[in-house]
Structure 1
Amino acid sequence: MASEAMDLSGGCQCGAVRYRVTGEVGYPHLCHCRMCQKASGNFFLPLIGAAKEDFQWTRGEPSWFHSSKPVRRGFCGNCGTPLAFETVGDDYIAFTHGSLDEVAAVIPVEQSGVEGRVPFYAELFTLSETHSNRDDLPGGIGDVAATNRQHPDHETENWSCEAT
């Protein structure tokens, strides 16, 4: 399980739930199983493991959903961000790669649950690319930036999560 000692932090989009990992992380992977697809609302769910003794919730606590008898998934009850995957009774917890403050700090090493991988996955990287200008929104990207309620990608002593 263990790979490299790290000091990582992360949390949900609104900042109500934050965590810190101080220790070894392991098995950073992309899970393609249907349950992870549903839990993330995406084609796959990137996860990273850590010993529970090296993982702490530093602000708030996640809400939990038992997606099966042995597995529960943690998410922010306020904004819905998927945050964790835990096998009940295990000494390890998996946290979502995308919830890290520094996403690029850990590189995935494997893809699992490939039997559920969407057939067009290999073609995703051949799609044309554009930068988002959000001309479809009143005020465009400027309005998005000016009204951004997303928690910054670093620890904050105080943060007020505004829900609408």
Structure 2
Amino acid sequence: MNARTTRTLAAALSLTAALAISGCSSDSGSDGAKSGKPEIKVSGAFMPEPVNDQMAGGFMVIENGSGTADKLTGVTSPLSDDVQIHETKNQKMQQVPSMGVPAKGRLKLERGGNHVMFMGLKNKPKVGDKVTVELRFENADPVKVELDVKERTHNPQSNESH
């Protein structure tokens, strides 16, 4: 009986400590920090018109406005049953399980770099269409995004002066 009481007390203390720690990790300086979850916003989302129905790339900027880092862990879309997160290193792309979205920072998914890859398209979207995706994160709530289908040569980087 004494061992059971000790285990119950240890469990209660562990739970209390976990709650206290999670309460300290929220960013009280931002509006959405009440939940302690990262604040994710997406901009510039587009997909160049696919050449065929085998694959297509998706590009966007994922911004994290909170002080809590997060990770993009998955992408789903009605366009494909296999949407992958790809990292580009040394001009080679490879599938990765996740990508970091830094606190008060951004993850750029762009041509020639990291991106989302749609494999085995169910149909071939045309310029002017919109493709819906749901981004899943380690901590933040899922985010639904519409990618504008653009000309195959569309590259917003060439319009920026960075």
TM-score (norm 1): 0.24
When Rg is computed on C-alpha atoms for both structures, the one with the higher figure is 2
More strand by share: 2
